[in-house]
Structure 1
Amino acid sequence: MGSRKRNSAERRKEALRSQYFARLNDVPTSPRKMRLVADMVRGMEVNKALGVLKFSTKEASNRLEKLLRSAISNWEQKTEQKAENADLIVSEIFVDGGRMLKRLRPAPQGRGYRVRKRSNHVTLYVDTKKSTNVTKEVADGTKS
């Protein structure tokens, strides 16, 4: 590996150490259905988001609740603090399309209809309210 590539990889790893996230790959649900649930909890406080996901009737909410608990656990592990004491929020959540299984379904008169079984990847970032406000101010240029 070249030195430039190694340096950029080390910078990327260092940036990830200061972020608290959890990732869920190849969820056998269409990205559109998962985005509906992800939009419900985006920007919410963690405890409120857990309540919303627990009582949601959507099937994707169970998987997202488990992912949120994992992200909280990652935050606790990295900061060595308890989540109850901190004001944690879901700072960022996004759903990307995963691989697609392509199948054929029998149709009338010898034809076949395509069935695309979609999957998705979900990434959820958790952060404290204070640090999120500071990063937004620095990005906006309002704080020096």
Structure 2
Amino acid sequence: MGARKRIRAEKIKEAKKTDYFAKLRNVPTSPRKMRLVADMIRGKEVNLALDMLKFSSKEASRRVEKLLLSAIANWKEKNEGVRIEDANLYVSEIAVDSGRILKRLRPAPQGRAHRIRKRSNHVTLRVASKVVSSETQEN
């Protein structure tokens, strides 16, 4: 591996150490419905986002709430001595991608059949801190 590639790989590795995310795969909800919930919390502070998801009437919000709690737990795992309130965590990125599509047939009049597409999606949620931690300031 050349020097440039190695240096770039090391930078990417360092960036991943401060990257806190959670993934939810093969959710049996259409991506369009999930994106409505994702747009609701994108860029919001974590506690506000949790409140919004908890009191939302949409079914997809329950799954996103659980995913956000998982991302917060991943953040806590690497930052043991820091409180969430002090870190000022927010939802930095949330992406909803299309998953696999189950194709089914429904009987239609006159011996025909209509295709039904049962969609699923993948959700990736990243949290970040607005405040720079004291460890990164020392280095």
Runs of 4+ residues deviating >4 angstroms: 6-14
Relative to the length of structure 1, the TM-score reads 0.81
**2:36 corresponding residue in structure 1:** 36
Q: Secondary structure at the match of 2:29?
A: coil
Relative to the length of structure 2, the TM-score reads 0.83
- Output the CA distance in 2 between the equivalents of 1:89 and 1:96: 21
- Structure 2 portions without partners, runs of 5+: 133-139
Residue 87 of structure 1 deviates from its aligned partner by 0.7
Range 95-104 or range 122-131, more displaced: 122-131
1:113 partnered with 2:114: yes
1:78 partnered with 2:100: no
**1:134 corresponding residue in structure 2:** none
Kindly report which structure 2 residues correspond to 1:1-144, keeping only aligned pairs within 5 A, or say none: 3=1, 12-80=12-80, 81-131=82-132
- Structure 1 portions without partners, runs of 5+: 132-144
Residue 14 of structure 1 deviates from its aligned partner by 4.3
Residue 18 of structure 1 deviates from its aligned partner by 1.8
Amino acid aligned to 2:101: M
Give the aligned length. 128
**1:141 corresponding residue in structure 2:** none
- Output the CA distance in 2 between the equivalents of 1:83 and 1:18: 15
Amino acid aligned to 1:101: L
Query: Aligned residues: percent identity?
Result: 66
Residue 10 of structure 1 deviates from its aligned partner by 6.7
- Output the CA distance in 1 between the equivalents of 2:123 and 2:61: 12
Bigger strand fraction: 2
Residue 82 of structure 1 deviates from its aligned partner by 2.9
Q: Secondary structure at the match of 1:44?
A: coil
Q: Secondary structure at the match of 2:93?
A: strand
Distance 1:13 1:30, change over 3 A: farther
Q: Secondary structure at the match of 1:99?
A: strand
